Amino acid sequence: MSSIPEELSYTKEHEWIAGLDDGPVVTVGITAYAAESLGDVVFVQLPEAGSTLQPGEAVGEVESTKSVSDIYAPIGGEVVEINEFVVDDPSLVNSDPYGEGWLFRIRVSGDPEDLLTPEEYTTLTTTDS
Amino acid sequence: MSKPTPLREVHESLGATLTDFAGWLMPLRYGSESAEHNAVRQAAGLFDLSHMGEIFVTGPQAGQALDHALVGHLSVLEPGRARYTMICAPDGGVLDDLIVYRLPGGEYMVVANASNYLKVAEELTARSAGFDAEVDDRSEAYALVAVQGPRAAEILATLTDADLAGLKYYAGLPGTVAGVDAFIARTGYTGEDGFELFVAAERAVPLWEALTKAGEPHGLRPAGLSARDTLRLEAGMPLYGNELNAGLTPFDAGLGRVVKFGKPGDFVGRAALAALKDVPPRRRLTGLVARGRRVPRHGYPVVLSVDGTVVGEITSGAPSQSLGKPIAIAYVDTEVSGGLAVDIRGSHEPVDLVDLPFYRRCM
C-alpha cells in the first residue's frame, strides 16, 4: 500500500484536495488507493474549464481496462484549470496520482463538507479492503 | 465465500489483486494488466486457470456418450488430440463451450468453464445414463497452469523431455514438467502459441515456481484474468456469459460448424438445431473499433449514428493494447453495414465495423 500524503485532505470517494489553507484555488486528484483499485487508467473525462460545480456532483469519469468510476466534485466552485497532460496520457493517474496525475483546479466557493484527514482516510482504506 | 485455487498463497506473495470469479478467488492482475497483456504478446505469460472444470468420461462407450451429450463428433477424436465443442440444451441453446481432450489411454477429459462445470458434470452424467460410460468430475483434484506467448515453447522445453516440437495445436501428451506429472496440451485462449498444463492440485506450487524461474530470462510474467480477457477479446474468442449463453444457439454465435449433423445417432438438441440451421439469424457477431477513447462495455446498446435506433448490443469490450484503441464484440442486426455508434452512458460514440479477430499472431 502506498503512503498517504500528510498535507492533503481526502474524501470518501477516494479523491484528494490540495491547498485548502493556501488560498481560493484548490487542486483535486484521485488517491493512489483508488488508482490501484481501478488498474491501468485508459481514459479520463474532466469537467470543462469555466464550469461551476456543486459539491458531491458527478463531474467526470475515470475509465480503466475493467471499469468506469465517476469523479465527484469534492467542493463547490468554478473550474479554473484542467490537467491536459492527464487527458492525453491517463496513465499519469497510476504513475503519479498525487503529482503529475492531478485532475483539475477549482476556485472554491463555500465550505467543503465531510473531508477526511490523512489519518481518517488511512483508516477508511485499511478497513474496507 | 469464494474458493481459493491451490496457488492462492503464491498469488498473494506476488501482490496480486484477487477477485471473485464464478465462485473462485482468482488473480485479476499482479501489477499493470497492460504490461501483463504485452508480455504475453511479446514474450510469455503464466496463468493460473485452476478454476476451469475437468470432467473425465471413461468406459467402453465414453465416445458414444459424448456424441450423444455434445454437438460434436467426439468418438472419432484420436487419442492425443483435442476439439472445441459445445453442450446444448434440447432447444439448441448453448449451455457451455468446451474443449474435449482424448487422452492417450482413450478416455476423455472435458474442460468446462468455471461458471458452468457443475451443470456440465450434471448434464453429462444424466445424458450418459444409457451408455457404458462413467462421468467423474475431478475439477477440485486438478490445477491448470498455462504458459502462453511466443517464448512459451522455449521456456517449457527447459523443464521437460516431452516432444514439444512434435506437439501440434489442439493436441496433448502426458509428460513430466520440472518433476511434476502433467498432461501437456498445446491449447490456449490468448491468440498466441502456448501450453496448458493439467496437474494434480498439490503439485501446482512447485510447477508454478519452476516455470517462473525458467521463464525469467525470457521475460515471462504472471498474468491475471484481466489480461486473459483482453487477450482473448483481441483474438476474437468467445466467452461464455458474454458472446454465448443459453438463449443463443451455436448458429447465432456464428459457430454452427461445431454442430456435427453427420454423426451417427441422436444427440441432445439435434432436432431443434436442425430446424434452426438454415434460418438466417437476425443478428451476427461482429467486431467494433471505437474512433474515440471511451470504452464500449458489455451490455451497452449499439445504435445508428443517424437517429439512435438500437441495432445491437455489446457483448465484450476493452481498450486494446495491440490496436491502441477500444475494441468490442457485439451482436448487430445483419442488415446494418456501417454508420454505427455505441451508447456509452448516454453519449453516442462512433465505432467502425471490422471482421474478427482484431489480432492474429505472426506465424
Q: What CATH number does residue B155 fall under?
A: 3.30.1360.120
Residue of B20, B33, B291 to mutate when probing chain A, most A C-beta within 10 A: B33
Q: Is B17 on the interface with A (CB under 8 A)?
A: yes
In the structure grid, which three cell numbers stand for residue B202, read together? 498439490
Residues B75 and B175 in one domain: no
pLDDT of residue B134: 98
Enclosing domain of residue B287:
282-354
pLDDT of residue A112: 77
pLDDT of residue B363: 59
Interface of A with B (CB under 8 A): 36-37, 39-40, 42-43, 45, 61, 63, 65-66, 68, 94
Task: Please state the three-class secondary structure of B94-147 as a single string.
Answer: EEEEEEEEECCCCCEEEEECCCCHHHHHHHHHHHCCCCCCEEEECHHHEEEEEE
Q: Which of B174, B169, B131, B130 lies closest to B148 in space, CA to CA?
A: B169
Crossing angle of helices B33-42 and B225-234, in 10° steps, is: 50
In the structure grid, which three cell numbers stand for residue B288, read together? 467494433
Restricting to B residues 158-197, those with a Cβ less than 8 Å away from any Cβ of A are none
Q: Is the pLDDT of residue A77 over 50?
A: yes
Residues B90 and B156 in one domain: no
Residues of A in contact with B293 (CB under 8 A): 42-43
Q: Which residues of chain B have pLDDT under 70?
A: 363
Q: In Å, how far are B270, B279, B333 from B275, measured between CA atoms? A: 9, 8, 21
Q: Is the pLDDT of residue A113 over 80?
A: no
Question: Are A63 and B294 within 8 A, CB to CB?
Answer: yes
Q: Give the H or E element holding residue A84.
A: helix A84-88
Question: What pTM does this model have?
Answer: 0.94
Residue of A2, A36, A37, A40 to mutate when probing chain B, most B C-beta within 10 A: A40
pLDDT of residue B46: 98
Question: Are B345 and A68 within 8 A, CB to CB?
Answer: yes
Q: Which of A102, A129, A112 lies closest to A36 in space, CA to CA?
A: A129
Residue of A43, A59, A65, A67 to mutate when probing chain B, most B C-beta within 10 A: A65
Which amino acid would we find at residue B308? Answer: G
Does the annotation list B196 as a binding residue?
yes
Measure CB to CB from residue B295 to each of A36, A39, A43 and give the nearest one.
A43
Domain membership flag for residue B208 = yes
Strand A25-30 and strand A15-18: the pairing is antiparallel
Chain A nearest C-alpha distance from B231 (Å): 12
Question: Are A43 and B294 within 8 A, CB to CB?
Answer: yes
Rg (CA), chain B: 21
How large a percentage of chain A has pLDDT more than 90? 84
Taking the C-alpha atoms of residue A23 and residue A17, their distance in angstroms, rounded to an integer, is 13
In the structure grid, which three cell numbers stand for residue B184, read together? 501437456
pLDDT of residue A66: 87
Domain membership flag for residue B330 = yes
Domain membership flag for residue B295 = yes
Mean pLDDT of chain A: 93
For chain A, list the domains and their CATH numbers: 17-111 (2.40.50.100)
Residues B41 and B94 in one domain: no
Taking the C-alpha atoms of residue A46 and residue A61, their distance in angstroms, rounded to an integer, is 7
Domain count, chain B: 3
